[in-house]
Amino acid sequence: MLHRSLGATGPTTSALGLGCMGMSDMYGPSDRAESLATLRAAADAGVVLLDTGDFYGMGHNEMLIGDFLSDPAFTHGHKRDDVQISVKFGAQRDPAGNWIGFDGRPSAVKTALSYTLRRLRVDHIDVYRPARLDPNVPIEDTVGAIADMVKAGYVRHIGLSEVGSGTLRRAAAVHPIVDLQIEYSLISRGIERDILATCRDLGIAITAYGVLSRGLISGHWTRGQGQGADFRAHSPRFQGQNLDHNLALVEELRRVADEKGVSVAQIAIAWVLAQGPDIIPLIGARRRDRLAEALGALDVTLSPDDLAIIERVVPKNAAAGDRYAAHGMASLDSER
């Protein structure tokens, strides 16, 4: 496993992290046994960073990871500290799973953390972060409350998610921030406007999600997938003519991938890895075959010529459709 540093003040971590969301939520039904096997395969391959959120499946994802950490198949070869657990909090949901706002108040931070520690069955979280900026709570208050939890030993490091440069600077003035979790891929390049430069200035790593644009640029997506409660049934990029346009881009990318003898997903992940040593892709694999494909990206070297060709076939702003539906876009401090 290759390693990268989680910001100037954070620990060394694996060059790829495993995002566990899809094992509990957002992408339709998942298979518990296969999810646990994927977590084990990731640990065995040296993937250290596991990303979750307390709202993924309303606690389900944390309990799954808790089960994994106490599973003899894990504990025979590994210890708790062989993995780094990154947890998002603050997204509010009702019992039907509807998204009903964000809560970044200090009391909410401490309450959410207490429940998370119980569900994961651990005594500390490696990186704790608000999922979104709560527009009603100064970021200094939210980060200050997490900093209290760092002092008390329940949290090791503080991260942020989908915030812009101004919020990053205000937060970093309160406590060191190790990483910003934000969407970044060949077709989601918003951080290149100013956020990436701000992170570099502040010594904050990027943990990139949506590197495969939620499967859209994985090379495996076909029209008709993703029905019902699946996030992609409502995502602008997966609808109608937008989808036709975006899948045409994937076919262009497939020609480049074929030339190099790699898969589309591998070239998309390798492109993000090539954007800087401070960028750590979070891979949303929930099956062992997908994980193995993603890990293969670590062996793909993209030359300057390769990068220029990729830029030509999938230029900046090439995608049709926003990365979230309107209400989701409105909650992104990073897009202001």
Ligand X SMILES: NC(=O)c1ccc[n+]([C@@H]2O[C@H](COP(=O)([O-])OP(=O)(O)OC[C@H]3O[C@@H](n4cnc5c(N)ncnc54)[C@H](OP(=O)(O)O)[C@@H]3O)[C@@H](O)[C@H]2O)c1
Q: Which DSSP string do the residues of 145-167 spell out, in sequence order? A: HHHHHHHTTSEEEEEEES--HHH
- In the bound state with ligand X, the residue whose beta carbon lies nearer, of 74 and 231, is 231
- In the bound state with ligand X, the residue whose beta carbon lies nearer, of 165 and 181, is 181
Place of tokens 């939890």: 149
Q: Which residues pair with residue 280 across a beta bridge?
A: 207
- In the bound state with ligand X, the residue whose beta carbon lies nearer, of 210 and 236, is 210
Place of tokens 């046994």: 33
- How many Cβ atoms sit within 10 Å of the Cβ of residue 319? 22
Instruction: Pull the structure tokens for residue 298.
Output: 């670590």
Which residues, including other chains, have CB under 8 Å from residue 124's CB and lie 6 or more apart? Answer: 117, 153, 154, 155, 156
Instruction: Provide, rounded to whole angstroms, the least separation between the CB of residue 225 and ligand X.
Output: 8
Concerning whether 154 is annotated as a catalytic residue, the answer is: no
User: Is 283:269 a contact under the CB 8 Å cutoff?
Assistant: yes
In a 3-state reduction of DSSP, which class is residue 52?
strand
Half-sphere exposure of 25 (CA within 13 A, CB side): 20
**Alpha helix locations (H) across 213-278?**
240-260, 264-273
- In the bound state with ligand X, the residue whose beta carbon lies nearer, of 151 and 336, is 336
Identity of the amino acid at 252: E
Interface residues with ligand X (CB under 6 A) are 19-22, 27, 51, 88, 131, 161-162, 181, 209-215, 218, 220, 265, 282-287, 290, 293-294
CA distances to 136, 154, 187 from 132, rounded to whole Å, are 12, 21, 21
Instruction: Provide, rounded to whole angstroms, the least separation between the CB of residue 213 and ligand X.
Output: 6
Instruction: Provide, rounded to whole angstroms, the least separation between the CB of residue 110 and ligand X.
Output: 21
CA 106 to chain centroid: 24
- In the bound state with ligand X, the residue whose beta carbon lies nearer, of 51 and 62, is 51
Instruction: Pull the structure tokens for residue 307.
Output: 């990068």
Instruction: Provide, rounded to whole angstroms, the least separation between the CB of residue 174 and ligand X.
Output: 20
Instruction: Provide, rounded to whole angstroms, the least separation between the CB of residue 161 and ligand X.
Output: 4
Catalytic position from the list 27, 56, 154, 209: 56
- What residues are annotated to the active site? 56
